[in-house]
Amino acid sequence: MLSVKMVLLSFLAVVLLSLAASLAQATRSAEASSERGGWATARRDSAGLAPDPQRYASEAIVQVYAAPTWGWKGVVAVHPWIIFKRAGETRYSRYEVISWGSGDKVRLNRNLPDGYWYGARPRLLVTHRGAAAAAMIPQIEAAIRSYPWPTTYRAWPGPNSNTFLAHIGREVPALKLDLPANAIGKDYRSLWHPLGLPPSGRGVQFSLLGVLGVTAGAEEGLEVNVLGINLGLDFTPLRLRLPFIGGLGQDNLQDDRP
């Protein structure tokens, strides 16, 4: 009984410390820039992270980004999206799930490929270029078409924008997608299919509607989910997976550029 109590107390301590760190980071960001002060005026210009599609017109490119969500939710969660272009194309296609508006929540080219997400600078999670990118683009498009919840959005526990990217990752294991621990909604699964692949597409995941589960994946390592709060350990490379702040340690950016 004592050991169970210690585990629970340790889990709670990690959660509270991660939340405090996320709040401190959000406060510093707000103090450093006033551009995120209003929805209409928050910056949405390019962050300069995506390769120039005209300069690299002959190259196929696939990238995944994530940025803190708007408002208070940015303290605890991120919003991800995927961009890609085939060889010969001079423009990216950007797909993401957006909550506002009626009808289909899957949106195409509503924002710049690597644009700030309403004042929040995006982080590049995955990049593939050349033949590897060219091979996976048709699979990505098929995964987008097969997304099970195109007209439904729930910030917690899902389905939401992270659920959408996790679905693509499961359908396209070559993407080697590693969504951070604070990508709330990535573990959302249908109640009738609680067991299956993790968002990386390689490994195994058990999850009850994204509120209770465990994941063992090639990119995720070992991760436990309690009420959408994720905590775990990544082995490639060794790093902690923490709620609210995503992780602690070396990033593992996927890049197939020759």
- Is residue 36 scored above 60 in pLDDT? no
- Is residue 33 scored above 50 in pLDDT? no
Q: Interior CA angle at 138 toward 133 and 141, to 5°? A: 110
- Distance in angstroms (rounded) separating the CA atoms of residues 62 and 125: 11
Q: Which residues have CB under 8 Å from 138's CB, separation 6+?
A: none
Write out the two tokens for 144. 């987008």
Packing angle, helices 131-145 and 161-171, rounded to 10: 120
Write out the two tokens for 22. 């996320």
Specify the pLDDT at position 40: 77
Phi and psi torsions of 92, nearest 5°: -85, 155
Residues 47-60: tens digit of each pLDDT? 999 999 999 999 99
Residue 195: in which H helix or E strand, if any?
strand 195-196
Average pLDDT over residues 188-205: 97
Taken in order 74, 245, 251, 167, the sign of the CA dihedral is negative
Q: Which of 136, 170, 44, 153 is nearest to 96 (CA)?
A: 153
Average pLDDT over residues 75-83: 92
pLDDT band at residue 239 using 50, 70 and 90 as cut-offs: confident
pLDDT band at residue 146 using 50, 70 and 90 as cut-offs: very high
Rounded (10°) CA dihedral 133, 137, 138, 143: 130
Q: In the chain, what are the domain boundaries?
A: 7-255
- Distance in angstroms (rounded) separating the CA atoms of residues 39 and 224: 34
- Is residue 14 scored above 60 in pLDDT? no
Please tell me whether residue 97 adopts helix, strand or coil conformation: strand
- Distance in angstroms (rounded) separating the CA atoms of residues 145 and 157: 22
- Distance in angstroms (rounded) separating the CA atoms of residues 181 and 178: 9
Strand 123-129 and strand 254-255: pairing? parallel
Specify the pLDDT at position 258: 42
- Is residue 34 scored above 50 in pLDDT? no
- What one-letter code names the amino acid at 71? G
Residues 91-112: tens digit of each pLDDT? 999 999 999 988 999 999 999 9
Higher pLDDT, 73 or 57: 57
Q: Are 108 and 95 in contact (CB under 8 A)?
A: yes
The share of the chain scoring above pLDDT 90, in percent, equals 69
Specify the pLDDT at position 35: 45
Residues 112-134: tens digit of each pLDDT? 999 999 999 999 999 999 999 99
pLDDT band at residue 31 using 50, 70 and 90 as cut-offs: very low
Tell me the whole-structure pTM to 2 decimals: 0.89
Classify the phi-psi angles of 243: left when phi > 0, otherwise alpha if psi is within -120 to 50, otherwise beta.
beta
